[in-house]
Chain A
Amino acid sequence: MRALALVSLVSISVLAQDAKPKPVAVPIASRLPAGATALLEFRGVAGKLRALLASPLGQQLLAHDAVQAFRASDQGRKLLMGDAFVRGINGTGIMGVLDALASKDIAIAVYDTPQKALAVARVDGVEIKKLIAAATLFAKGQIQIVEPESDAGPALYRAGPIYYSVDNELLVVSTVEALARQVRAPTGRASVLGQANIAQARRHAGDADVFAYVDLETYGKNLAQNGKPKDLAQALLLGAFAYYVPQAPWAGVGLRIDADENGWNLDVNANSPAPEKRQQPVEDAFCGTLPTLPFRLPERTLGVVRMRRSLRSVWAHREALIADVGIPKLIEFESNFSNITYMSFVEEFLPNVGEEFVLIGTRRLWKADETAPAIRMPQGAILWPIRNKKNWATKVQLTFNQFVSIINFNQGQNGGDPLLASSVTHKDVVIHTSRYHREDADKRPPFYMNFTPSVAIVNDHLVVASTVDIVRELIDAQNGETAALGGVNAGVWLEPGEIRLALQENRETLVAQSMLEDGSSRANAEQKIDVALELARYVRDVRVTTKAADGKLSVSLRLALQTPEKRTR
């Protein structure tokens, strides 16, 4: 198979400190006056997209049945009609307009409120003027000349709330007349590029193809007002970002497209607040890097979530890290935990667990003699490193029995199927497991038959799993390891190929949902789902990682596409 890589990396800058600027030609954004609270720059994006569409991957996508089906649909026909209409005006159609508008640079700035916006673009002025002339004809007098062309600059027009002017290479559009005038006839006043924060953010983003800047002091007031996370789950999920992002004066996003003949790249990076603004409880609880995981990923892995979070530190500094409203819930949790596990959460549990949470999901294989439920859930396991392994065995068994008892009490009250607990051994590892006992003559197993809750201690990790099968797979996977990317603090790694297979196994469920949500026939729903599953074959790799260590705070998104193998029919 000839794989084509389409790799994307997006970064959000919070405070740039040490990015090295690359030499850039005078940017179009320099025409925008200073005082902007948000800025968006496109730097020749259309050309790169054109290159992508011309690549083998792009050609295959354009020839795809789904694209052809869209062309034949009502919306597709409307689009083609619109294209024909524009072609009648400029001879090149909508793509020609996009080319004229976006093949060079565009910069959009917002001043004070989103209602005060100004955009400038390097354009093919001749093409744009043709379009404006045609639009003027159709607008039937809705377009007025505010100021005729003169030595001071091109004519300034008004169409409803929009002011615009265009010369041979520059299009200016604004919601405010004064801003449009300033750009139309530059007077040497300071530009947005002179704003310290914007300059810093731009340096940090480097030669990104798309750059965005937002003044958080203007638009991020809500972030700061939200204060500390309200509960533990929120704190664990957001980590250091929950505490540091609201302190940042601005945020920047850079998007890099590496358009070689096969694909493109997107890039993002960020830095944390200045050292004096860092808080030790946050650093202890949520910063640092992921260690090597002493398991290889099992076969049929759908995805992995890994997070470096010190629950012990969170508990030690909970008043500093969690909002007051969330503290009583933590205390209640401690009490419930002790009742169920016969362990003190703070004195016995926390000192004996490590600082990494791992969640692994895999596609489940159903044995020939098993009747699978209509909805086939993937299987998942949470792995948590533990210390003093020998102290855990009895407590794990005890806790599991308590869990089964509680489930059975509830099931018994509601006439539900009970869990049957048992223990099995796999490669000398004891697995405490359970399965739902069902004697109903009904041959349609309910959804919960997907679960055989299990727990075991594997390779110095407490494993809590939705099925006994995934525990066995993890025991088999002890003979390898999974390294984290350098400096990564938390991340999600997905395997699109396996996810597509899992979705394919649940095609019937997806079709059912589509029929109920769209009100469409089975045939239409099948067609829609099959198109989505087919398009999923183009995705090769997806990952989101965060860094929160050594003064770095960043989010990265990576997306890789591929040209799928031809399917045999």
Chain B
Amino acid sequence: MSLLRPYQPSAEQPWDQDAALHLWRRAGFGAGPEQVAATVKMGPARAVEQLIAPPGDDPAEEGLESIYDNIYGSSDPDNLRAWLITRMTRCQHQLREKLALFWHSHFATSILKVRKVDWMARQYRLFLDLGLGKFDALLGEITRDPAMIRWLDNETNSKGQANENYARELFELFTLGEGNYTEKDIREAARAFTGWHILRGRYHFSSLLHDSGTKTVLGKTGPLSGEDVCRMALEQDACGRFLARKLLAFFVTPKPLPKVEQELGALMNKNGYDMTATLRVVLGSSLFFGADARRAIVKSPLEFVVGAARCLDSKLNAKAAVPALRSMGQDLLAPPNVAGWPGHREWINTATWLSRVNAGARLLRALPASARPEHLLGSALPAQEYQVLTKRATGRAALARAILALPEAHLA
């Protein structure tokens, strides 16, 4: 029986507050008690649909969009970081924000090399605007993205002097994964991307610097272009499996079963890498809501900080959160390397753990009247433990801090 079959609430897997909170934690960054209660009421299928396409206007997003020019024109990357964190905290379309973060790590590009805030803003825009669409469109745009071109040195990829960096990462990190291509494929594919440069801050194709000769890539021969190479990579079965593995590891379980990868990969090959259709299946599956998936992933610092603010209906000082997140190991817009953040257990070590606990204390100086600290963990906080914490903590903020210091609060 397929593990990706639609989830049907049952006595073993009821649709309750815990299940709804699980959905919000994974498909978004969490939600406050009222929002979770409303989600429980609407049932799992509608809940997933509303995460895919929230109804109505979003004043928070409109407000943030209204200041985008200001962020874009700033030379301080922390302004862009804070803007993105505020989006994650306040925007209704949580799945889009969460998926954009996934793509940011997938197509990991660092401002430390790019050094241009507007280029990084434009790249992140691609993740927001195209993230839930078809992967081929996103891949096509990211291949032409100035920040990516600079990050992977395609500016120096010219006829007769091919730079293989982009071609290598295209196969290894963006589409196929190791073992599904050869070094010759990389060398030949790199020729297809020669002349894909930047001019005046935009993608520029230089036909004079492009190698239009015959190449053989992934078993096909011809005067292949960069577009051809991208398309051919997507045609490989390995691409579906590779993306499926990364999506499952991000949204469902850190170590997905090969047969589930295979099944989801095949589905993606079939649906043309339609991310909305794919996530509808993943988030609505019995696998997603299964007991093994609950609190099975270590939260990233962003998930922890933004999630705590959302669960407690607390406002977040995003500017102050930027350095705090950095000390926890997640410097937004500056992933550690081309492979992005390794995630899961790699998030936790003695230094980052201390930073997490301290951040919880700083974040929660003032809580709104509506904040319910016990909501942070739902039933993962046993009643007995809750009683002990309640007795010892002086006030709701102290209680919230104590709960956020529990290991369970760091699991998504």
Q: Chain A interface (Cβ within 8 Å of chain B)? A: 373-375, 414-416, 439-442, 444-448, 508-509, 511-513, 515-523
Q: Is B10 positioned at the interface, with any CB of A under 8 Å from its CB?
A: no
Q: Is B309 positioned at the interface, with any CB of A under 8 Å from its CB?
A: yes
Q: Is B116 positioned at the interface, with any CB of A under 8 Å from its CB?
A: yes
Determine whether the beta carbon of B315 is less than 8 Å from that of A518.
yes
Which residues of B lie under 8 Å from residue A515 when comparing CB positions?
63-64, 67, 86
Which one, B59, B67, B118, B318, contacts A446 given CB within 8 A? B118
CB of A453 to closest CB in B, whole Å: 16
Q: Is B198 positioned at the interface, with any CB of A under 8 Å from its CB?
A: yes
Name which residue of chain A comes closest to B146, CB basis: A415
Which one, B67, B115, B317, contacts A414 given CB within 8 A? B115
Determine whether the beta carbon of B59 is less than 8 Å from that of A521.
yes
Which residues of B lie under 8 Å from residue A520 when comparing CB positions?
315
Residues of B52-98 whose CB lies within 8 A of A: 59-60, 62-64, 66-67, 69-75, 79, 82-83, 86, 89-90
CB of A503 to closest CB in B, whole Å: 14
Q: Is B200 positioned at the interface, with any CB of A under 8 Å from its CB?
A: yes
CB of B168 to closest CB in A, whole Å: 22
Name which residue of chain A comes closest to B69, CB basis: A374
Name which residue of chain B comes closest to A516, CB basis: B82
Determine whether the beta carbon of A415 is less than 8 Å from that of B116.
yes
Determine whether the beta carbon of A442 is less than 8 Å from that of B201.
yes
Q: In the bound complex, what is the Cα–Cα distance between A505 and B201 (angstroms)?
A: 28
Q: Is B162 positioned at the interface, with any CB of A under 8 Å from its CB?
A: no
Q: In the bound complex, what is the Cα–Cα distance between A326 and B74 (angstroms)?
A: 33
Determine whether the beta carbon of A444 is less than 8 Å from that of B86.
no
Q: In the bound complex, what is the Cα–Cα distance between A331 and B231 (angstroms)?
A: 60
Which residues of B lie under 8 Å from residue A415 when comparing CB positions?
116, 150, 155, 198, 201
CB of A392 to closest CB in B, whole Å: 32
Determine whether the beta carbon of A447 is less than 8 Å from that of B75.
yes
Determine whether the beta carbon of B318 is less than 8 Å from that of A519.
yes
Q: Is B319 positioned at the interface, with any CB of A under 8 Å from its CB?
A: yes
Which of B67, B115, B309 has the most chain A CB within a 10 Å cutoff? B67
Determine whether the beta carbon of B320 is less than 8 Å from that of A512.
no
Name which residue of chain A comes closest to B83, CB basis: A516
CB of A124 to closest CB in B, whole Å: 37
Determine whether the beta carbon of A508 is less than 8 Å from that of B86.
no
User: What 15 additional pairs, Cβ within 8 angstroms, besides A512-B67, A517-B317, A522-B63?
Assistant: A375-B73, A414-B115, A444-B69, A446-B73, A446-B117, A447-B73, A508-B67, A515-B64, A517-B82, A517-B318, A518-B315, A519-B90, A519-B314, A520-B315, A522-B67
A517-B320 contact given A439-B200, A444-B118, CB 8 Å threshold: yes
CB of A439 to closest CB in B, whole Å: 5
6 cross-chain pairs, A with B, having the tightest CB-CB distances, nearest first: A522-B63, A519-B315, A512-B67, A374-B73, A516-B82, A440-B201
Which one, A416, A440, A448, A519, contacts B86 given CB within 8 A? A519
Q: Is B202 positioned at the interface, with any CB of A under 8 Å from its CB?
A: yes
Which residues of B lie under 8 Å from residue A521 when comparing CB positions?
59-60, 63
Q: Is B376 positioned at the interface, with any CB of A under 8 Å from its CB?
A: no
21 contacts between A and B (CB under 8 A): A374-B72, A414-B115, A415-B116, A415-B150, A440-B201, A442-B201, A444-B69, A446-B73, A446-B118, A447-B73, A512-B67, A515-B64, A515-B67, A516-B86, A516-B317, A516-B319, A517-B320, A518-B315, A518-B317, A519-B317, A522-B66
Which one, B70, B74, B316, contacts A519 given CB within 8 A? B316
Which residues of A lie under 8 Å from residue B150 when comparing CB positions?
415
Interface size class of B (residues with CB under 8 A): 35 or more
CB of B318 to closest CB in A, whole Å: 5
Which residues of B lie under 8 Å from residue A442 when comparing CB positions?
118, 201
Which one, B66, B79, B200, B201, contacts A516 given CB within 8 A? B79
Which residues of A lie under 8 Å from residue B72 when comparing CB positions?
374, 444
Which of A373, A415, A521, A523 has the most chain B CB within a 10 Å cutoff? A415
Which one, A373, A416, A517, A519, contacts B73 given CB within 8 A? A373
Which residues of B lie under 8 Å from residue A508 when comparing CB positions?
67, 69-70
CB of A406 to closest CB in B, whole Å: 17
Determine whether the beta carbon of B70 is less than 8 Å from that of A512.
yes
Q: In the bound complex, what is the Cα–Cα distance between A444 and B82 (angstroms)?
A: 19
Q: In the bound complex, what is the Cα–Cα distance between A63 and B203 (angstroms)?
A: 57
CB of B54 to closest CB in A, whole Å: 17
CB of A451 to closest CB in B, whole Å: 11
Residues of B193-218 whose CB lies within 8 A of A: 198, 200-202
Name which residue of chain B comes closest to A416, CB basis: B116
Name which residue of chain B comes closest to A506, CB basis: B70
Which of B59, B86, B89, B198 has the most chain A CB within a 10 Å cutoff? B86
CB of B151 to closest CB in A, whole Å: 12
Q: In the bound complex, what is the Cα–Cα distance between A523 and B73 (angstroms)?
A: 22
Name which residue of chain B comes closest to A509, CB basis: B70
Name which residue of chain A comes closest to B86, CB basis: A516
Q: In the bound complex, what is the Cα–Cα distance between A511 and B71 (angstroms)?
A: 11
Determine whether the beta carbon of A516 is less than 8 Å from that of B74.
no
Name which residue of chain A comes closest to B150, CB basis: A415
Which residues of A lie under 8 Å from residue B75 when comparing CB positions?
446-448
Q: In the bound complex, what is the Cα–Cα distance between A374 and B74 (angstroms)?
A: 8
CB of B71 to closest CB in A, whole Å: 7
Which residues of B lie under 8 Å from residue A519 when comparing CB positions?
86, 89-90, 309, 314-318
Contact string, B261-302, partner A, CB cutoff 8 A, digits 1/0?
000000000000000000000000000000000000000000
Q: In the bound complex, what is the Cα–Cα distance between A508 and B71 (angstroms)?
A: 11
Q: In the bound complex, what is the Cα–Cα distance between A227 and B86 (angstroms)?
A: 45
Which residues of A lie under 8 Å from residue B155 when comparing CB positions?
415
Name which residue of chain A comes closest to B200, CB basis: A439
Which residues of A lie under 8 Å from residue B59 when comparing CB positions?
521-522
Which residues of B lie under 8 Å from residue A441 when comparing CB positions?
200, 202
CB of A89 to closest CB in B, whole Å: 27
Which of A441, A446, A519, A520 has the most chain B CB within a 10 Å cutoff? A519
CB of B75 to closest CB in A, whole Å: 5
CB of B130 to closest CB in A, whole Å: 19
Name which residue of chain A comes closest to B199, CB basis: A439
Name which residue of chain A comes closest to B322, CB basis: A516
Contact string, B302-333, partner A, CB cutoff 8 A, digits 1/0?
00000001000011111110000000000000
CB of B260 to closest CB in A, whole Å: 38
Which residues of A lie under 8 Å from residue B70 when comparing CB positions?
374-375, 508-509, 512
Q: In the bound complex, what is the Cα–Cα distance between A373 and B86 (angstroms)?
A: 23
Name which residue of chain A comes closest to B155, CB basis: A415
Name which residue of chain A comes closest to B74, CB basis: A447
Name which residue of chain A comes closest to B89, CB basis: A519
Which of A373, A447, A512 has the most chain B CB within a 10 Å cutoff? A512
Which residues of A lie under 8 Å from residue B317 when comparing CB positions?
516-519
Q: In the bound complex, what is the Cα–Cα distance between A511 and B69 (angstroms)?
A: 12
CB of B89 to closest CB in A, whole Å: 6
CB of A526 to closest CB in B, whole Å: 9
Which residues of B lie under 8 Å from residue A375 when comparing CB positions?
70, 73-74
Contact string, B127-154, partner A, CB cutoff 8 A, digits 1/0?
0000000000000000000000010000
CB of A221 to closest CB in B, whole Å: 31
Name which residue of chain B comes closest to A439, CB basis: B200
CB of B370 to closest CB in A, whole Å: 13
Determine whether the beta carbon of B318 is less than 8 Å from that of A516.
yes
A444-B73 contact given A415-B116, A516-B318, A517-B318, CB 8 Å threshold: yes
Q: In the bound complex, what is the Cα–Cα distance between A519 and B318 (angstroms)?
A: 7
CB of B163 to closest CB in A, whole Å: 16
Which residues of B lie under 8 Å from residue A448 when comparing CB positions?
75
Which residues of A lie under 8 Å from residue B64 when comparing CB positions?
515, 522
Q: In the bound complex, what is the Cα–Cα distance between A507 and B90 (angstroms)?
A: 22
Q: In the bound complex, what is the Cα–Cα distance between A281 and B196 (angstroms)?
A: 62
CB of A313 to closest CB in B, whole Å: 37
